Amino acid sequence: MSFCQYDAYPTTWTEFLTAIQQDETCVHCPENGEWDINDYQPEGYTSTEFQIKCDRIEGNGTTIRNLKLVNSGFKSLSTASSSQGRIDEISGLHFLNLVVDNQSRKSLFYLQNRPGKIDGETVPSTRTIFSGCTFSGVLSVNTSGQRFVVFGNNTTMISCACNIEIIATGSSGQVGLSSDTQYCNFKVATRGVTDLGFTSTSSGYQMYYCWLDVYGDDLTTLTVTRLAKASVFRCSAPITTVGKASEGFPSVVSVPDPLTVVLPEDSNLIVCTDAQCRDAEWLHDAGFPIAVDP
């Protein structure tokens, strides 16, 4: 549901940053446009918070290339409350060669739930949706005493793809990707990350039909949302603990040595080798919902 009253059609990165700060606005990016941030801010942004006050961003296939952020990120705001946001959906926007060094922030995208009323009309307090967006780049994050959540606690990702490297420099080594994911493909290389996964294990969050490839020798724990349905987690790291995932169709976790993995008693996960993960008949026989030719 969108409450846009105005439309904005930015043609440059500078115009885009202005447009997303306008209340009640739907921002329409150029069809398959491209903004190279080296042309605007080649040294990158430091201690900058890009405020999102608009209702929607329609990327239309626009690529944002070479965005460099040091202790910087995006935050949604609302005129109704400083702790809530208006943004409903961000679609078709592509971040290519993203470079992030966030040592003082907890998230790259801090997108808050919408308030119960917008422009006097009652609305569901839902999470912001990323749909059809892609992300690639390198993120250096601080996890001392906290979990860094790349796409925020209050987001739903639908049909998105990520190819990122995450370097954790803090003590906890805990990194989350998103709260709620559907039909997404993640390829994540990690360094210094010991616990990778999703930000909530409550039953209100789900992971449907997703694929996660994860690499990194430091990784020991994979945290999966409780409602994980027909998803695949391929881990080259020696995972020993997998959390949650007790509802819905089974999901698959492939690891170098399945015998080393500890699962919760109520887990609905199938642990296997990479070879078994690539074997359709084996997966079918193990209970994973995959079609096999008779």
pLDDT band at 7 (very low <50, low <70, confident <90, very high): very high
How far apart, in whole angstroms, are the C-alpha atoms of residue 198 and residue 113? 17
How far apart, in whole angstroms, are the C-alpha atoms of residue 23 and residue 52? 9
**How much is the pLDDT for 248?**
63
Q: Residue 154 pLDDT > 90, yes or no?
A: no
Question: Going by C-beta distance under 8 Å and a sequence separation of 6 or more, which residues neighbour residue 207?
Answer: 180, 181, 182, 198, 224, 225, 227, 228, 229, 231, 251
Q: Which residue has the tokens 């954790």?
A: 168
How far apart, in whole angstroms, are the C-alpha atoms of residue 260 and residue 254? 12
Mean pLDDT of 153-171: 91
Q: Residue 89 pLDDT > 70, yes or no?
A: yes
CATH class of 127-294: mainly beta
At 275, which amino acid appears? A
Determine which of 42-46, 66-70, 266-270 has the lowest per-residue pLDDT on average.
266-270
> What percent of the chain lies above the pLDDT cut of 70?
84
Q: Residue 202 pLDDT > 60, yes or no?
A: no
At 246, which amino acid appears? S
| Sheet strands (E) in 192-250 | 195-197, 206-208, 211-215, 221-223, 227-229, 232-235, 241-243
- Residue 205 or 5, more confident: 5
Q: Which residue from 197, 202, 207, 208 is spatially nearest to 173, judged by alpha carbons?
A: 197
**How much is the pLDDT for 73?**
94
**How much is the pLDDT for 86?**
78
Question: Which tens digit of pLDDT belongs to each residue from 183-199?
Answer: 999 999 999 998 888 75
Which segments of 104-262 does DSSP mark as H helices, in order?
Answer: none
| Sheet strands (E) in 159-198 | 161-168, 174-176, 180-182, 185-191, 195-197
Q: Where in the chain is the domain with CATH 2.160.20?
A: 127-294
State the pairing for strand pair 117-118/121-122.
Answer: antiparallel
How far apart, in whole angstroms, are the C-alpha atoms of residue 166 and residue 237? 14
**How much is the pLDDT for 292?**
65
Structure tokens at 190: 């990690």
How far apart, in whole angstroms, are the C-alpha atoms of residue 169 and residue 106? 13
How far apart, in whole angstroms, are the C-alpha atoms of residue 280 and residue 294? 12
Length of the chain: 294
At 202, which amino acid appears? S
Mean pLDDT of 240-245: 63
Report the range out of 55-59, 103-107, 251-255 with the highest average pLDDT: 55-59
At 84, which amino acid appears? Q
Cα-only R_g, the chain: 20
> What percent of the chain lies above the pLDDT cut of 90?
49
Give me the chain's average pLDDT, please.
86
Q: Which residue has the tokens 């040595």?
A: 257
Structure tokens at 176: 């989350």
- Residue 42 or 196, more confident: 42
Helix (H) or strand (E) holding 14: helix 13-19
How far apart, in whole angstroms, are the C-alpha atoms of residue 214 and residue 255? 10
How far apart, in whole angstroms, are the C-alpha atoms of residue 239 and residue 220? 4
Q: Residue 226 pLDDT > 70, yes or no?
A: no
Mean pLDDT of 86-97: 93
